[in-house]
Chain A
Amino acid sequence: MKILMLAARNLFRNTRRTLITLMAITFGLAMIHFTINLQTGQYHEMITKGISTLAGHVVVSAAGYRDDPDPDRVLTGADAVAEALATALPDAIIAPRIFLGGLLNSPTSSVGVALTGLDPEAEAKVQDIVDKIREGRWLDDDVHGIVIGEKMAESLSVGLGDKLVYMGQHGDATEMTSQLFRVRGIFRTGSAELDGFAAFSNLEAARSLFGAGDIAHMVTVHLPEASGTAAALELARTALADTPGIEILSWRQALPEITAMIQLDRASGDVVLIILGIIVSMGVLNTVLMSALERTREFGVMMAIGMKPLQLARVILLEGMVLGILGSLLGIGAGLLLTWPAIAWGIDYSEYLGGESVDSGGVVVSTIFFARINPLRMGIYTLGAVVFTTLAALYPAIHVARLRPVDAMKHV
């Protein structure tokens, strides 16, 4: 359309001013895209790590366990549940877990421990704790094997192959039960909590400590892709429809804190990004207003020969919009360019955060932050930028539409 061409040509009347404004939009948007993509990478890491270590894409436990994770609220018949899930979801990894709290004693000292009983083979494919083992090896079917953190090994003054005795009171037992373990592996995650207080043993050992067979606190289901969660949840519900006294949750339901934290973080991030957008819009407002004021006489002539105020306003609005679209396209390019190193190599925050991992909302994440392109949010902000720059042209457009031709033509 001719009016669009007129707007585009007007923009490049003062090339330097337009280019400076374009650069401001481009740079502002590039920052926004970079921030979004870095955030997306972090959230992705938090979610995937949270899912693999704290839950699963789908989690089956005794009814009420999420709201009140009492160790006595066990899922009985856990093997049957695991079996049914394995049949219903052949591509998934099924990992039952038991969580125990007690004391771990060495000949010289004792510390409190959060002991997880698990299926070593299944978990090796799910958790990256296996990669964090610095000495020894991951668990196998030896029921006396235990893997502990580096700090705990220090507190207990034990090394590989040393004996440890676990003591705790579980299940129906009125007495303390105990079990002998041998240190099989020592891990370091960088998280003080995990390295000092977490330990992993075979599921069978944990069950015998509980004085019960066939139990678990959770039977976790790990899918190849998080996007399959809804379908898997449906299949799990169908497969376990006849099993009484259980709850089946998606990871979103099982990890409400993570979802809430991400939402909060994103909301506070959005405020900053929107403020940045408003600042850039001020630049656009300035450019469009200046260029409109300079052309007052010309607008007078155009209205005198029959152009309607609304048509004129449309030209001005289009100028803002064209500026916004050009800046947005350049901004997408610059944003991807800026994001690319953070995708390929990540950004190393280990110096600032003191270690290779950090505890974030109960999830241990790497201190090398990798970005991840989020096309949807990049698209939303791009669209937002075009809307903002168009709105910034609204004031100049209204100003011009209100001019009387005779008054406008007196301007030189």
Chain B
Amino acid sequence: MPIVTVRGLTREYQQGAVTVKALNGVDLEIEEGEFTALMGPSGSGKTTLLNQIGALDEPTSGTVVIDGKDLTTLSSAQLSDLRLQRLGFIFQSYNLIPVLSAFENAEFVLMLRGTDAAERRRRVMETLADVGLTGMEHRRPSELSGGQQQRVAVARAIAGRPALILADEPTANLDSTTGHELIALMKGLNEQHKVTFVFATHDPKVMEAARRVVELEDGKIARDTRK
């Protein structure tokens, strides 16, 4: 069974008298263990789709089903819980809480889940090692480079072992070398730990790393390629 099933999804925005169809009938399934790139030009609906899959926004019509649950039937508290327990997020920038150290940021999701301190510590140290940040646990975000900050965001997302990690242009604010390193890191985690990733990007070079590329155009899926 797929982790995510999207059926007939539309999302419209009212901008004055104009209705913008950010998503215009999307059907999509994400299987466990996939490493999927969501491609498309700016404004094609990548962020809108990730927000729908991430239980952050309600659709105009259609359904998103995660773990067999139709999101439209869940209360906002249940959605919040679903995000906490099953999903991981990496955003374009300003992902981290500035007053918390790398360790504390990476720990945040586990803390919200109420995981006990010893277990938290073990998982976070292990995860920070996975993303190559051993020795930087006590640094605040302002003391880390942009690439290192995104690695902390990756660590926070995977520390909770979610079913699915959604990353919205995680490399957009990084130079291309650092960006490719981050993608390589995520791909490594995908292969090593079978973490499922969906990430939006409009960098064609990033596409090469992905095993599946879903291309969006004007709110619709134009191509869906598996390698």
Which A residues form the contact surface with B (CB < 8 A)?
Answer: 2, 6, 9-10, 13, 297-298, 301-309, 311, 404-406, 409, 412
A and B contact pairs by CB, cutoff 8 A, 11 listed: A2-B111, A9-B100, A13-B99, A302-B108, A305-B108, A305-B109, A305-B156, A306-B83, A306-B112, A404-B57, A405-B56
**Contact indicator B89/A305 (Cβ below 8 Å):** yes
Q: Which of A302, A311, A404, A406 contacts B97 (CB 8 A)?
A: A302
**Contact indicator B94/A311 (Cβ below 8 Å):** no
Residue of B nearest to A297 (CB): B94
Encoded as 1 (CB less than 8 Å from any A CB) or 0, chain B from 10 to 42 comes to: 000000000000000000000000000000000
Is B8 part of the contact surface with A, judged by Cβ < 8 Å? no
**Contact indicator A306/B81 (Cβ below 8 Å):** yes
Q: Across the interface, which residues of A come within 8 angstroms of B148, CB to CB?
A: none
Q: Across the interface, which residues of B come within 8 angstroms of A412, CB to CB?
A: 94
Q: From residue B142, how far is it (CB to closest CB) to chain A in Å?
A: 11
**Contact indicator A306/B80 (Cβ below 8 Å):** yes
**Contact indicator B81/A301 (Cβ below 8 Å):** no
Q: Which of A9, A13, A307 contacts B112 (CB 8 A)?
A: A307
**Contact indicator A298/B80 (Cβ below 8 Å):** no
How far does the alpha carbon of A304 sit from the alpha carbon of B111 in the complex, in Å? Answer: 15
Q: Which of B56, B83, B85 contacts A406 (CB 8 A)?
A: B56
How far does the alpha carbon of A404 sit from the alpha carbon of B56 in the complex, in Å? Answer: 8
CB contact list, B87-135 vs A, under 8 A = 88-89, 91, 94-95, 97-100, 108-109, 111-113
A-B contact count (CB 8 A): 57
Count of B residues near A, CB < 8 Å?
A: 26
**Contact indicator B109/A6 (Cβ below 8 Å):** no
Q: From residue A309, how far is it (CB to closest CB) to chain B in Å?
A: 8
Q: Across the interface, which residues of A come within 8 angstroms of B183, CB to CB?
A: none
Residue of B nearest to A411 (CB): B94
Q: Across the interface, which residues of A come within 8 angstroms of B57, CB to CB?
A: 404, 406
How far does the alpha carbon of A10 sit from the alpha carbon of B104 in the complex, in Å? Answer: 14
Q: From residue A305, how far is it (CB to closest CB) to chain B in Å?
A: 5
Is B178 part of the contact surface with A, judged by Cβ < 8 Å? no
Q: From residue A293, how far is it (CB to closest CB) to chain B in Å?
A: 15
**Contact indicator A406/B51 (Cβ below 8 Å):** yes
How far does the alpha carbon of A297 sit from the alpha carbon of B83 in the complex, in Å? Answer: 18
Residue of A nearest to B88 (CB): A305
How far does the alpha carbon of A20 sit from the alpha carbon of B223 in the complex, in Å? Answer: 58
Residue of B nearest to A2 (CB): B111
Given A301-B94, A305-B83, 11 further pairs, Cβ under 8 A: A2-B111, A6-B97, A13-B98, A298-B97, A301-B91, A304-B83, A304-B91, A305-B89, A305-B108, A306-B84, A306-B85
How far does the alpha carbon of A307 sit from the alpha carbon of B81 in the complex, in Å? Answer: 8
Q: Across the interface, which residues of B come within 8 angstroms of A10, CB to CB?
A: 99
**Contact indicator B99/A9 (Cβ below 8 Å):** yes
Residue of B nearest to A7 (CB): B99
Q: From residue B181, how far is it (CB to closest CB) to chain A in Å?
A: 23
Q: Across the interface, which residues of A come within 8 angstroms of B170, CB to CB?
A: none
Is B1 part of the contact surface with A, judged by Cβ < 8 Å? no
Q: Across the interface, which residues of B come within 8 angstroms of A406, CB to CB?
A: 51, 56-57
Is B45 part of the contact surface with A, judged by Cβ < 8 Å? no
How far does the alpha carbon of A412 sit from the alpha carbon of B91 in the complex, in Å? Answer: 13
**Contact indicator B98/A298 (Cβ below 8 Å):** yes
Q: Across the interface, which residues of A come within 8 angstroms of B113, CB to CB?
A: 306
**Contact indicator A306/B109 (Cβ below 8 Å):** yes
Q: From residue A251, how far is it (CB to closest CB) to chain B in Å?
A: 57
Q: From residue B98, how far is it (CB to closest CB) to chain A in Å?
A: 7
Q: Which of A6, A297, A303, A304 contacts B100 (CB 8 A)?
A: A6
How far does the alpha carbon of A306 sit from the alpha carbon of B80 in the complex, in Å? Answer: 5
Q: Across the interface, which residues of B come within 8 angstroms of A2, CB to CB?
A: 111
**Contact indicator A304/B81 (Cβ below 8 Å):** no
Q: Across the interface, which residues of A come within 8 angstroms of B94, CB to CB?
A: 297-298, 301, 412
How far does the alpha carbon of A2 sit from the alpha carbon of B89 in the complex, in Å? Answer: 22
Is B54 part of the contact surface with A, judged by Cβ < 8 Å? yes
Q: Which of B51, B77, B84, B98 contacts A305 (CB 8 A)?
A: B84
